[in-house]
Amino acid sequence: MKCTRFFLLLLFIPNMIYAGFYAKEYAKVMDKIKSEWNHHDELIQQFSRLSDSEKEQGIDLLRRAIKCCQKAIDHCDSIIKHIDDKPKSERHDSYWVQAKERSKQDKQHLNAEIASLQTAINQTLQNSAFAKALSFYQQAQEKAALAEMKSQICTRDLDDVDTTVATFNEIAELYTQALVFSQHALAFIAPYPDEVSKDTLRQAIALYSNAAQQYRQEAAAWPATVQTEKNALNEELTSLTEKNSL
C-alpha cells in the first residue's frame, strides 16, 4: 500500500512542477505583452508630438506601433495555446479559464488598436496627399493667371512678328506648366474618394491643355497671318492709289 502511494506521488509531482513552472512562464509572457504595449504607447506619443508637416515622415512610428501590437497578439496566442494543451482537469481550473479569457480580450483590444492605427496611417497619407495637391493646384492657377495677363497685354504687332510669336510661345508654355501642375495634383488625390476635387482638376487640365495648344498654333500661324494681312493692306493701298490717280 505504501509503495502504491509512493508511486502515485511520483506521478503527481511532475504535474505539480509543470503547473508551477507554467504559472511563472505565464507571468513572464504577460510582462512581454505589457512591455510591447508600453513601447506602442511611447511610439504613439512621439507621433502625436510631430507637426502636421512632419507627420507623413513619422508614419513609420505608427507602423512600428502596429508591429508591437502584433507581437503582443503572438504572445496572447502563445498563452491560449499553452492553456489548450493542458490536461482537461487543469485547463478548466478557474485560474486558467480566467487567464485564457483575458488573453482573448487582450487580442480583441490589440486587433482594434491595429485597425485604429491603420486608419490613422491612411488618414495621414490622405491629408498629406491633399496638401501637396493643393500646393500644385495653386501653382497651376498662378501660371494660368500669368498667361492670361500676358495674353491681354500682347499687342499682336504686325511689324514685330518675332516678338509676338515669342509671346505666344511663352503663353503656351505657361499654360503647359499649369497643365503639368494640375496633373501632379490629380495624381496625388487619385487614390482617394473625393470626386468633386478630381472633377475640378480634370476641368482645369482640359482648359490648360486647350489653351496651350491654341497659343502654339497661333504662334506657328502668326507669320503667315501677318503676311496675309500685309498683302491685304497693300492691295487696298494700291487700289486707293489707283482711284486717286484717276
Look over the chain and give the mean of its residue pLDDT values, rounded to a whole number: 86
* pLDDT at residue 5, as a whole number: 39
Q: What CATH number should be reported for the domain whose range is 2-128?
A: 1.20.58
| Angle (deg, nearest 10), helices 59-84 and 94-153 | 160
The span from the CA of 234 to the CA of 243, in Å, is 14
Amino acid identity of residue 35, one-letter, is S
Higher pLDDT, 234 or 139: 139
Q: What is the pLDDT of residues 1-25, one digit of tens each?
A: 333 333 333 333 344 444 443 788 9
Q: CB–CB of 42/49 below 8 Å?
A: no
Assign 230 a pLDDT band (cuts: 50, 70, 90): low
Q: What is the pLDDT of residues 172-196, one digit of tens each?
A: 999 999 999 999 999 999 999 899 9
* pLDDT at residue 21, as a whole number: 35
Nearest to 95 by CA among 16, 14, 26: 26
Work out the percent of the chain whose per-residue pLDDT is above 90.
Answer: 68
Instruction: Give residue 147's Cα distance to chain centre.
Output: 32
The DSSP H or E segment spanning 199 is: helix 195-245
Q: What is the pLDDT of residues 81-134, one digit of tens each?
A: 999 888 888 888 899 999 999 999 999 999 999 999 999 999 999 999 999 999
Work out the percent of the chain whose per-residue pLDDT is above 70.
Answer: 84
Judged by average pLDDT, the poorest of 15-19, 146-150, 222-226 is: 15-19
The span from the CA of 229 to the CA of 223, in Å, is 10
Torsion angle (degrees, nearest 10) of CA 206, 208, 210, 215: 180
